[in-house]
Amino acid sequence: MKNRRFIQILGSAILVASLGITGCSIPGAQETTEETTTKETTEETTTEEEEDPCCCVVDEDWEDDEMYYSSCYQSTNGELPEQLDYMTLCPDWETIDWDAYPEDMDEMYITDLSVISDDDIRTVAQSYLDDGFNIMDPQIEQELGYAWGDGEYQFTTGFSGYRTVGNMDEYINVYKMNEDLFNYFFVEWNGYDVDEVEVTDDGSVIRYSLEDSYVEFNRDTGIGVAFSSWDNTIGVG
């Protein structure tokens, strides 16, 4: 399961068939029919182009059972409910001074959680740290655009981390948000809006589970969590 949602191409390209009018011997009638058909085709084309949310590029590497998938992107424009209270624009990668940061990712993880100012997030981070997770420095995460988001906007209050248990690598992303943002960035983008997903909701915490991964939202604390695990032996040897 990918960390970002891959959606099926909706069809941004429109096939325009050549018009063939048969069974009419009156030139005027043929011209009228052709004009009407052309007008209808133009209107349909305009409507479909206007409704198409984005322009997708087919990547044949993602072909599966004759269905093509693409990381088709549509900007939220920061207009989701309270989005800018919880998210900010990602930095421009081209302007980042990469030499100012460690080349080794392991050097970006912290054990001193005092750098996390939010009490709720710091408490959750401590629980994961106690369970053996490596917690990435939230400041570096923000500066490099590594925080959870869609590549344009990223969450501002939270952290990510990982640990290895046996042959499994486990990853977490924990951020403050509202339920609308959770549904968009955690549920839909992660592909949890499918029939195979198991959903539990006790009124306080709602969780979507799929195989060895899940996303959940705590309505009391306003914290969303994305958990995923991967067998690190797959493809080895």
Mean pLDDT of the chain: 77
Look at 9-13, 23-27, 39-43, 107-111 and tell me which has the smallest mean pLDDT.
9-13
Ordered DSSP codes for 190-203: TT--STT-EEEE-S
Model confidence pLDDT, tens digit, residues 108-122: 999 999 999 999 999
Angle at 223 between CA 222 and CA 224, to 5 degrees: 125
Phi, psi of 167 (to 5 degrees): -100, 15
Identify whether the C-beta of residue 167 lies closer than 8 Å to the C-beta of residue 233: yes
Q: For residue range 136-191, what is the model confidence (pLDDT) as tens digits?
A: 999 999 999 999 999 999 999 999 999 999 999 999 999 999 999 999 999 998 88
pLDDT at residue 165 in the model? 96
Contacts of 147 (CB under 8 A, 6+ apart): 138, 141, 154, 155, 156, 158, 160, 175
Q: Label residues 84-104 b or e (16+ Cβ within 10 Å = b).
A: eebbeebeeeeeeeeeeeeee
Residue pair 176/121 in contact by the 8 Å Cβ criterion:
yes
| Region of poorest pLDDT, from 47-51, 93-97, 101-105 | 47-51
Q: Write the single-letter amino acid at 95.
A: T
Q: d(Cα 155, Cα 74) in Å, to the nearest integer?
A: 17
pLDDT at 78 over 80: yes
188 secondary structure, DSSP code: I
Residue 65: per-residue pLDDT: 36
Which tens digits make up the pLDDT trace of 30-55?
444 444 444 454 455 444 444 444 44
Residue 72 banded pLDDT, cuts 50, 70, 90: low
Confidence (pLDDT) at 237: 61
Helical segments of 52-112, H only:
83-86
Q: Where are the domains of the chain?
A: 8-69, 76-231
Taking 50 as the threshold, does the pLDDT of residue 230 lie above it?
A: yes
Residue 187 contacts residue 118 (beta carbons within 8 Å): no
Distance of CA 78 to the CA centre of its chain: 15
To the nearest whole percent, how much of the chain has pLDDT over 70?
68
pLDDT tens track for 213-224:
999 999 999 999
In sequence order, what are the residues at sequence separation of 6 or more whose Cβ sits closer than 8 angstroms to the Cβ of residue 140? 101, 108, 146
Identify which has the larger pLDDT, 127 or 40. 127
Which of the pair, 15 or 147, is modelled with greater confidence? 147
